[in-house]
Amino acid sequence: MRKRILGIDPGLATVGFGAIDWQQSQTKEQQTRVQMVDFGVIRTSADMEMSQRLCTLFDDLHTVMEDLQPDLVAIEKLFFYRMANTIIVAQARGVLMLVLGQRKLPYVEFAPPQIKQALTNYGKADKSEVQEAVMRELDLDEIPRPDDAADALAVALTASFQL
């Protein structure tokens, strides 16, 4: 069995995405394998009006979905302490949810401590520990950049651990 999982680190200025292929062997040991497919970011400029930024996210998210053809999307839940920031990111996240609804894609959500726990066995791990775990789990030579893309791969890996 094979699944393509697309991880998303939502934001307004930068949305990170990272796709992995998860495969389970048909042997009685049921071994699993994960492989990185692609990663990157969608950026919007602070110079643009909010409506234009949201339209850019909408269009670019559709393109990412079309290019990567995920079977499952994993999303990092909102986790902010400043209300103004939360509202702005929530608007961008709403666009993401609209795109998923239009494409009828199943999704799962994880809070940052869940992602940290899944990758490092410590729910309060720092960013560098999570990034090193992503690099190790995907057998990469270096940490994916920018950080938002590495975070998205961490979300996708978290989903793969639950399959």
Active site residues: 9, 76, 148
Q: What are the phi and psi torsion angles at 54 (to 5°)?
A: -65, -40
- Name 158's bridge partners: none
Could you list the beta-strand ranges (E) of 25-121. 32-43, 72-76, 107-110
Q: What is the DSSP string of 2-22?
A: EEEEEEEE--SSEEEEEEEEE
Q: Alpha-carbon distance 130 to 6, whole Å? A: 17
Question: What's the maximum distance between 2 C-alpha atoms anywhere in the chain?
Answer: 56
